[in-house]
Amino acid sequence: MSNLKPKEIVKELDKYIIGQDKAKRSVAIALRNRWRRQQVPEDLRDEIAPKNIILIGPTGVGKTEIARRLSNLTDSPFSKIEASKFTEVGYVGRDVESMVRDLLELTVNTLKVREQEAVKEKAIQIAEERMLDLLLPKSEKHQAQKSDAAAETHLELLSSGGDESSSTREKLRSMLRNGKLDNRYVDLDVSDRAMPVVEIFSNVGMEEMGINFKDMLGGLIPKSTKRRKVKVPEAMETMAAEEAQNLVDLDKVVKQAIEKVEQSGIIFLDEIDKIVSKNGTQGPEVSREGVQRDLLPIVEGSTVTTKYGPVKSDNILFIAAGAFHTVKPSDLIPELQGRFPIRVELDSLGWKEFVRILTEPKNALLLQYLALLKTEGVEMIFENDAVEDIARIAEEVNNMTENIGARRLHTMMECLLEDILFDAPDLQEKRIVIDRLYVKNKLQDIKDDEDLSRYIL
């Protein structure tokens, strides 16, 4: 992140997201400000709060994609949450603090996997020694001598046949590395620790109760192992995974994860307009204004209790998004509005943007279908006129029915290529050209029949 200037962030986002320049600029500035905050003197650093953002725009224009690509760019802990899942504390549903817990859990798991990758070579070496012990068990006499010597002098006592055993071991090591033992079976003890399912119905999260039931029960239930007969490569893989887990310092991982979440975490709050009350509503607002009130301290900055320890949310960046069709951002409770100082309206997409979405991004929709059909040996070519027609029809259908933005293109492409995708394995002609006539034959009739297009396109 330290190397990415706002212009470079926008340039990277351009590779995947078409248009929406205002939104890209806003998130690029917010992201750079996080790096700037790290550089200021420490006494001032705690005073600088992240500038949270509300992205306003219809579905399918790139709100979620912007947030997701941002987290990939900066290697920041990222979590996407639907605001409509939450209810006010005390009612059945998720409480807002669970979003911070989920973010930390994801980060711990990600860092754990990275640490395991870092010690993979060492784990394989240890697994190899264990495998050689299985393939060439030491004699009972040798084992007894070794244990006695270890107890008295802490020195390993080699038996008289030590050189011979060592030579055999090295030969086995060479055969193991060359794959000559891949078809041999070994008896491997694997841990069989089935945890009982415990469901707790409570109006608070499990972490808030101060007890991690899984860990508590894990200590009470004895660790059982079962012996399996497996081939050497599978046994090596299992043992290497076990050793990698043993080599990772979990306390260090947790400490890093908490620091990473607190300093560079991003939480994307989707569908925030669904927790906004419409004027004149009656009755309890357990999943609307109640959620906003619960959300306020988290966004403002508070300490959340998790099973790994307390986590401060003061410097987590919150990006909220919503269509705001029937309500306005000003309908949010005033305190929450003040916590989202940056508001960006995203533009609706027209046929010109659809053409670019189909062809330009790194993961462009046409490239995905070309790659899928290439696996069947089918070469598919889209003419420019055909791509324009697909984009125009998508725009018209969006105008006639519900505007679902670029997601309409997925529906159009599936409808257009259904026959080719079905028959691809048996096609004799392996080169297919999609032209304007093909698009017209496939889509025009459905589009013209408004009732039919509502159900199909």
Burial 196-223 (b: 16+ CB within 10 A, else e): eeeeeeeeebbbbeeeeeeeeeeeeeee
* CATH number of the domain residue 310 falls in: 3.40.50.300
Q: What pLDDT, on the 0 to 100 scale, is given for residue 174?
A: 85
Q: Which of 345, 370, 393 is the last residue of a domain?
A: 345
Q: Which phi and psi (to 5°) does residue 17 adopt?
A: -125, 125
Q: Which of 194, 224, 247 is the last residue of a domain?
A: 247
Question: Using 50, 70 and 90 to split pLDDT, how confident is the model at 164?
Answer: low
Q: What pLDDT, on the 0 to 100 scale, is given for residue 204?
A: 47
Map residue 265 onto helix, strand or coil.
coil
Q: Is the pLDDT of residue 130 over 50?
A: yes
Q: Does 1 fall in a domain?
A: no
Question: Do 296 and 366 reside in the same domain of the chain?
Answer: no
* CATH number of the domain residue 355 falls in: 1.10.8.60
The DSSP call for residue 406 is T
What percent of the chain stands above pLDDT 70? 82
Q: What pLDDT, on the 0 to 100 scale, is given for residue 161?
A: 46
Q: Does 255 fall in a domain?
A: no
Question: Do 186 and 232 reside in the same domain of the chain?
Answer: yes
Question: Do 297 and 403 reside in the same domain of the chain?
Answer: no
The two structure tokens encoding residue 142? 């040798």
Q: Is the pLDDT of residue 42 over 60?
A: yes
Q: Is the pLDDT of residue 104 over 90?
A: yes
Q: Does 252 fall in a domain?
A: no
The two structure tokens encoding residue 389? 């027609």
Least confident of 129-143, 330-344, 362-376: 129-143
Q: Which residue has the tokens 């006129």?
A: 385
Q: Is the pLDDT of residue 114 over 60?
A: yes
Q: Is the pLDDT of residue 160 over 80?
A: no
Question: Do 106 and 45 reside in the same domain of the chain?
Answer: yes
Contacts of 414 by beta carbon, 8 Å cutoff, 6+ apart = none
Residue 159 exposed, middle or buried by CB count within 10 Å (0-12, 13-18, 19+): middle
CB count in 10 Å sphere of residue 397? 23
**Residue ranges in 265-404 assigned as alpha helix (H):** 289-300, 334-338, 351-359, 365-374, 384-400
Question: Do 124 and 241 reside in the same domain of the chain?
Answer: yes
Q: Which domain holds residue 38?
A: 6-114+260-345
According to the per-residue pLDDT averaged within each range, which of 146-160, 218-232, 347-361 is highest? 347-361
Write the pLDDT tens digit of every residue in 197-241: 544 444 445 444 544 555 555 556 666 677 778 888 888 888 888
Say whether pTM exceeds 0.85: no
Contacts of 290 by beta carbon, 8 Å cutoff, 6+ apart = 87, 88, 91, 284
Q: What pLDDT, on the 0 to 100 scale, is given for residue 416?
A: 92
Write the pLDDT tens digit of every residue in 289-308: 778 888 889 998 899 999 89
Taking residues 301-329, report their average pLDDT: 89
Taking residues 60-69, report their average pLDDT: 86
User: What is the number of domains present in the chain?
Assistant: 3
Question: Do 21 and 53 reside in the same domain of the chain?
Answer: yes
